[in-house]
Amino acid sequence: MKRFGSMFAGLLRVAFAEAVAYRGEFIVWFLATNMPLVMWLLWSTVAEEAPIGGFGPAEIAAYFIVTLIVRLLSGAWVVWQMTEEIRSGTMGQRLLRPLHPFVNYCAENLAAFPLRLVVLTPVFIFAAAYVGGGFTSSWAQWALAPLVILGAWAIGFTAQLLIGALAMHWQSAVSLMDFWLGLYFVFSGYLMPLALFPAGLREAIAWLPFPYMISLPVQTLLGQIDTAATLRGLLVQSAYIGGFLLSALLVFRAGLRRYQVFGG
């Protein structure tokens, strides 16, 4: 275990250096993730006429500013990296390393978090000034917020590992990722608060992983749910993370045989 910790720490250092070296690409991705700001303008215009589902202009602003923060902190990109490496054959280089490729991918994603926090600093300051009292006043919720944001990232990361592993069996798994993103945008709370959906549809959506990737962290930070609901959400996040990771490992192991036979 100590040897694993030492190797993982080394991976984090190397991955952080790479993230800094390619900070220009990271900032472009950061600036391109602006859909919550667009939705803020659209929904606030509607809410100025009359509150929608309890959301007035102030509540809409708080919701989408926090949504932007959660999205930028929890985003993952491993599926595109995996599919390209499988297609080009460079996955073979990862297989020669002492640690599983999934561990390498995890280190590369986690190492970018300090850079995310640095780039997000102006957004944090703006959110504190603009949202102000709209944030939760519960210290328990603030303590749980980093965990649910990390859980949101882990759901997306492990789901992408699974989709990326399917690239060993299919010509390309990117189309499946596009389908996943479409569902994510609609059912996560990214484009609109889930509270605005009909009650029956909300109950159905609660069985999907997507609400636990945006809506749960946002509601936790804004105090729209209590601590018990956040803890239940953490349990659901854990179940999805475990399920996606186990499935990804099984699919990846099965795909290795095909990958090696066809000269990957």
Could you report the per-residue pLDDT of 170-218, keeping only the tens digit for each?
776 788 999 999 999 999 999 999 999 998 999 999 999 999 999 999 9
Residue 155 above 70 pLDDT?
A: yes
What are residue 52's DSSP bridge partners? 55
CB 27 within 8 A of CB 119: yes
Give me the amino acid identity at 252: F
Share of the chain above pLDDT 90, in %: 44
Instruction: Supply the range of the domain harboring residue 216.
Output: 2-261
Q: What is the pLDDT of residue 197?
A: 92
Question: Higher model confidence: residue 231 or residue 2?
Answer: 231
Query: For the stretch 248-259, what's the b/e string if a residue is b when 16 or more beta carbons lie within 10 angstroms of its beta carbon?
Result: bbebbeebeeeb
Total domain count, the chain: 1
Cα–Cα distance for residue pair 144/89, rounded to 1 Å? 41
Q: What is the pLDDT of residue 16?
A: 58
Query: pLDDT digits over 92-143, tens only?
Result: 888 888 888 999 898 888 887 877 787 788 888 888 887 777 888 899 999 9
Q: State mean pLDDT over 232-242.
A: 98
Please provide the average confidence, as pLDDT, over all residues in the chain.
85
Work out the number of other CB atoms within 10 angstroms of the CB of residue 208.
14
Nearest to 82 by CA among 168, 193, 9, 170: 168
Nearest to 137 by CA among 235, 231, 227: 227
Using a 10 angstrom Cβ sphere, with 0-12 exposed, 13-18 middle and 19 or more buried, the burial of residue 61 is buried
Residue 243 above 60 pLDDT?
A: yes
Q: What is the pLDDT of residue 262?
A: 47
Residues 6+ apart with CB under 8 A from 207: none
What are residue 55's DSSP bridge partners? 52
Radius of gyration of the chain measured on its C-alpha atoms: 20
